[in-house]
C-alpha cells in the first residue's frame, strides 16, 4: 500500500469555501491516479434522511472521493443544528471525543493514497470545553492548507490564522485564495499583499456560480 499523504484544510472563517476547495484538491489528486478521500470530522447542520443525519459538506466530500468508505468514517460527528459545534454538541448531550476522530482518520488513511481533513469554521473553533480544531490538527500532526475567502477583511484574517498555524508548530503547506465575492475591489492587490506575507504556495479559485469542484481541480496542485 502506498503511504498516505494527508493534509488538514483550515479556513480563515466560516463560509470561505473550505469544502469546495477540499473537493477540488480531491479531484486534483484523483487526476494523478491517486486514491483520494475527504474527511469532515465534525459538522454542524444536518438533514435527517431515512433516519440518517447527512451534512451537506460531508456529502460533497463523500461524492468527490475515489470510493465511498461510508459516512461514519468520513463524518464521525454530525450535529443537527448549524451553530458553533461545541454548543450544538452540548445541546445534544454529546461529547466530541478526539480519540474517535483519530481512529476514523487512521482507518481512512490505510485505504487511501491521499486524505484531506476539512476543519469546521475557522482554525480555532471550539469542539469542547478545552479542545478546539487547532488541537485536532496538532493531534493528527498534519501539514495545513489554508483556505482564504477573498473578501474585504481577508488580509487580517489570513495573516492571523497563518500565525496561529505556525505558532502550533504545524507546517504551513500552502494556501488557496477562493474568490467568493465577485464584486471584491482590488482583488489582485489583495492577492499580492497576502502572497508577499504568507510565504507559501498559492492557488487561486475564481468565482464561479454553482461551480463543480471537479471543473476547477486543474487550478490546484498538491503540496510537495
The residues annotated as belonging to the active site are: 40
Grid cell locating 85:
459545534
Q: Which residues contact 8 (CB under 8 A, 6 or more apart)?
A: 117, 119, 136, 137, 140, 142, 143, 144, 145, 170
Q: Are 200 and 175 in contact (CB under 8 A)?
A: yes
For residues 57 and 18, what is the distance between their CA atoms, to the nearest angstrom? 9
For residues 143 and 35, what is the distance between their CA atoms, to the nearest angstrom? 19
For 83, list phi and psi in degrees, rounded to 5: -135, 180
Q: Distances from the Cα of 196 to the Cαs of 89, 97, 181, 185, 186, in angstroms? A: 39, 38, 22, 19, 16
For residues 16 and 177, what is the distance between their CA atoms, to the nearest angstrom? 9
For residues 137 and 2, what is the distance between their CA atoms, to the nearest angstrom? 22
Q: Which of 121, 130, 58 is nearest to 95 (CA)?
A: 130
For residues 38 and 54, what is the distance between their CA atoms, to the nearest angstrom? 15
Tell me which H or E stretch contains 108. Answer: helix 98-109
Amino acid at each position: 500500500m502506498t503511504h498516505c499523504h494527508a493534509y488538514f484544510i483550515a479556513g480563515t472563517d466560516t463560509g470561505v469555501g473550505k469544502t469546495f476547495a477540499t473537493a477540488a484538491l480531491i479531484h486534483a489528486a484523483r487526476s494523478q491516479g491517486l486514491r483520494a478521500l475527504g474527511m469532515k470530522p465534525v459538522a454542524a447542520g444536518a438533514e435527517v434522511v431515512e433516519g440518517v443525519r447527512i451534512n451537506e459538506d460531508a456529502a460533497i466530500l463523500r461524492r468527490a472521493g475515489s470510493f465511498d468508505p461510508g459516512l461514519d468514517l468520513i463524518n464521525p460527528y454530525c450535529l443537527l443544528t448549524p451553530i458553533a459545534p461545541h454548543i450544538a454538541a452540548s445541546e445534544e448531550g454529546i461529547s466530541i471525543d478526539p480519540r474517535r476522530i483519530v481512529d476514523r482518520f487512521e482507518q481512512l488513511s490505510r485505504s487511501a493514497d491521499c486524505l484531506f481533513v476539512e476543519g469546521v469554521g475557522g482554525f480555532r473553533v471550539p469542539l469542547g470545553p478545552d479542545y478546539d480544531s487547532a488541537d485536532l490538527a496538532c493531534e493528527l500532526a498534519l501539514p495545513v492548507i489554508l483556505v482564504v475567502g477573498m473578501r474585504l477583511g481577508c488580509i487580517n484574517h489570513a495573516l492571523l490564522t497563518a500565525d496561529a498555524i505556525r505558532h502550533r508548530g504545524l507546517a504551513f503547506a500552502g494556501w488557496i485564495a477562493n474568490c467568493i465575492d465577485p464584486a471584491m475591489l482590488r482583488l489582485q492587490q489583495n492577492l499580492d499583499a497576502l502572497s508577499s506575507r504568507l510565504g507559501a504556495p498559492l492557488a487561486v479559485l475564481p468565482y464561479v456560480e454553482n461551480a463543480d469542484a471537479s471543473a476547477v481541480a486543474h487550478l490546484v496542485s498538491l503540496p510537495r
